[in-house]
Amino acid sequence: MKAHLSCFLVAGLLVLPVVPPAHAADPVLVVHGGAGVVRNALTPAEEAAARASLEQALRAGHARLIAGESALEAVTAAVRVLEDAPSFNAGKGAVFTHDGRNELDAALMDGATRRAGAVAGVQRVKNPVLLARAVMEKSPHVMMVGAGAEAFAKEHGIELVEPSYFRTEKRWQQLQKALREEASREAHADIETARYFGTVGAVALDAQGHLAAATSTGGMTNKRYGRVGDAPIIGAGTYADDRCAVSGTGWGEFYIRAVAAHEICARVKHAGQSIASAARGVVNDDIPRAGGDGGAIALGSDGSFALPFNTEGMYRGWIGSDGVPHVAIYATDAMQGDTLR
Ligand code: ASP
């Protein structure tokens, strides 16, 4: 619980006690599974599987919250479920690089302490969010990459898998398509870049009124040269402080340039904007104006949240005090709590 003074003296006056609420906050968990979903691209079975995994992630994280555990535990639990679900571009089911590998990025941040952990370019870590958490809790560092991050994972008993674990046929075919399109664009001297984005993320408010955010991704299909997107960069794709927590999904280069997650929270903190208007302003005004696209989930310490995006869909959901998971995919899929445009 937050420390509440029962009473105190100011300039000789007795100030009446502030009665703390029974619960400082009603726990809330919001998740996303990426803004790259294209209308009609999913079979009914794929759509059902994605919805089921979103609900499972919401329940897993919410169980932590109602047990009185921290927002950090909740976002870790929710993202772990989404990493294990092949429907999303994170953990199993991650997109392929140009060279046919899966290179995974993840980050999390604890709003109460501002501690953060991040990893990038790992190829054998089953749940990158758990490694990001270990970086935060078991090292003096914030970010580790590649082979060094995997050596750290091994030292700390984080589960490693064969790279083939991450492979799904659907993602492999997306890479083949991107390679074909790239070859034909080169033939036509077109510089447009092929991309599919996914990413998973969670933001949570715990009963103590603390926030946390976590994001995990395979990045963008056909990425090269050790490219790292916004997801593991604190302030770009992931950020949490004592008033606001954000996880982004979208064209990472634009989220990095906009320092999107921090920008949303800065508008809440310094400009007094609501979570919804700050998140909409960055996601639906600034990012598209700069030429990017995507979405984000944002949650405030008052329990208000927003899920804006400017693509055809964003896997998304939330769960609050009634314990019922609310889940949606397409922009046309109305969901209580949506703040699309
Ligand atoms: N933002 C991620 C990246 O650029 C991709 C995504 O959200 O799908 O790596």
Q: Go through the domains of the chain in sequence order and give each one's CATH number.
A: 25-330 (3.60.20.30)
The verdict on whether 199 is a catalytic residue reads yes
Catalytic residue among 199, 215, 217, 339: 199
Residue with the nearest Cα to atom 7 of ligand 1? 249
Q: Which two tokens stand for residue 75?
A: 């976002």
At a CB cut-off of 8 Å and minimum separation 6, what does 170 contact?
Answer: 93
Q: Residue with structure tokens 């995990």? A: 216
Distance 228 CA to ligand 1 centre (A): 9
Quick: pLDDT tens for 210-256.
999 999 999 988 999 999 999 999 999 999 999 999 999 999 999 99
Q: Which two tokens stand for residue 144?
A: 């580790």
- Per-residue buried b or exposed e for 260-275, using 16+ beta carbons within 10 Å of the residue's own CB: bbbbbbbbbeeeebbb
Dihedral over Cα of 155, 157, 162, 166: its sign: negative
Residue 253 and residue 231 in contact, taking contact as beta carbons nearer than 8 Å: no
- Per-residue buried b or exposed e for 308-317, using 16+ beta carbons within 10 Å of the residue's own CB: bbbbbbbbbb
From the CB of 89, is ligand 1 less than 6 Å away? yes
Cα 203 to chain centroid, rounded: 7
- Please give the pLDDT value at position 340: 59
CA distance 156 to 171: 30
Question: What is the percentage of the chain residues whose pLDDT exceeds 90?
Answer: 77
Mean pLDDT, residues 2-26? 43
Q: What is the mean pLDDT of the chain?
A: 89
From the CB of 311, is ligand 1 less than 6 Å away? no
- Please give the pLDDT value at position 196: 58
From the CB of 218, is ligand 1 less than 6 Å away? no
- Please give the pLDDT value at position 141: 98
From the CB of 230, is ligand 1 less than 6 Å away? yes
**76: helix, coil or strand?**
helix
pLDDT tier for residue 337 given thresholds of 50, 70 and 90: confident
User: Does the pLDDT of residue 10 top 60, yes or no?
Assistant: no
Quick: pLDDT tens for 80-137.
999 999 999 999 988 999 999 999 999 999 999 999 999 999 999 999 999 999 999 9
Distance 248 CA to ligand 1 centre (A): 8
- State pTM to two decimals: 0.90
Dihedral over Cα of 39, 263, 288, 105: its sign: negative
Distance 243 CA to ligand 1 centre (A): 24
User: Does the pLDDT of residue 207 top 80, yes or no?
Assistant: yes
Minimum-distance ligand 1 atom for the alpha carbon of 252: 4
Distance 10 CA to ligand 1 centre (A): 51
Minimum-distance ligand 1 atom for the alpha carbon of 198: 8
